[in-house]
């Protein structure tokens, strides 16, 4: 396994229509809790860290051009970052920003991580298709609907909003009526 800092050599990219899924793998020396305490950026709004038996997760969103990002870290330090967005450039900027702020040492993606990204893409393709159907029915841009759906997921999954409160918050944030 070669350790490098050049993100372009280690970036995995998948695309479905306008949706981009980007990912990198590497080593984070600090826990995600430590990272959030020292994070000085304002590009990404992070939720509290979620802990599982063998790993921890950190979810965040960027609102400049909506990017949904997840950082996973195993307790041995092996980590990954995945982002979902309709804006490839902003998604790449967010990953580069997190890599730099966290001092992540990148390495070539493992087959398991590549499979995980493929599974995520399959799941997000359904989200994209649902957003497309809603955008056509509401006669609005898919970006507004997709952003709102991803934000609702962030609010309910990571900030413990009720579905009703998450819908209202997302509709207000994106000036959109989903119902």
Q: What is the CATH number of the domain that holds 92?
A: 3.30.160.110
Do 23 and 57 belong together in one domain?
yes
DSSP single-letter state for residue 29: S
Q: Are strands 3-4 and 105-107 parallel, antiparallel or unpaired?
A: antiparallel
As a whole number of angstroms, the distance between CA 148 and CA 177 comes to: 10
- What is the mean pLDDT of each successive set of 10 residues along the chain, which is 179 residues long? 54 93 92 85 88 91 94 90 96 93 91 92 94 93 93 94 95 82
Total number of domains in the chain: 2
Do 96 and 146 belong together in one domain?
no
Q: What is residue 2's predicted lDDT score, i.e. its pLDDT?
A: 32
Q: What is residue 77's predicted lDDT score, i.e. its pLDDT?
A: 82
Q: What is residue 178's predicted lDDT score, i.e. its pLDDT?
A: 66
Q: Residue 131 belongs to what domain range?
A: 122-174
Whether the full predicted model's pTM is greater than 0.85, yes or no, is yes
Do 31 and 84 belong together in one domain?
yes
Do 130 and 102 belong together in one domain?
no
Query: What's the chain's length in residues?
Result: 179
Do 74 and 151 belong together in one domain?
no
Separation of CA 110 from chain center: 19
- For residue 116, is it within any domain? no
As a whole number of angstroms, the distance between CA 24 and CA 82 comes to: 7
Long-range contacts of 52-57 (CB under 8 A, 24+ apart): 56/31, 56/32, 57/32
Q: What is residue 38's predicted lDDT score, i.e. its pLDDT?
A: 82
173's tokens: 């944030």
């Amino acid at each position: 396994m070669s350790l490098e800092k050049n993100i372009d050599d280690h970036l995995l990219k998948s695309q479905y229509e306008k949706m981009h899924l980007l990912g990198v793998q590497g080593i984070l020396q600090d826990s995600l809790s430590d990272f959030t305490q020292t994070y000085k950026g304002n590009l990404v709004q992070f939720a509290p860290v979620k802990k599982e038996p063998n790993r921890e997760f950190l979810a965040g969103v960027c609102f400049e051009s909506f990017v949904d990002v997840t950082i996973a870290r195993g307790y041995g330090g092996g980590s990954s970052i995945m982002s979902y967005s309709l804006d490839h450039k902003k998604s790449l900027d967010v990953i580069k920003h997190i890599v730099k702020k966290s001092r992540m040492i990148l390495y070539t993606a493992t087959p398991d991580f590549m499979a995980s990204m493929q599974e995520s893409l399959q799941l997000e393709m359904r989200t994209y298709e649902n957003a497309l159907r809603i955008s056509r029915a509401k006669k609005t841009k898919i970006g507004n609907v997709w952003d709102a759906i991803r934000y609702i997921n962030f609010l309910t999954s990571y900030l413990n909003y009720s579905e009703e409160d998450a819908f209202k918050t997302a509709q207000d944030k994106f000036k959109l009526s989903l119902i």
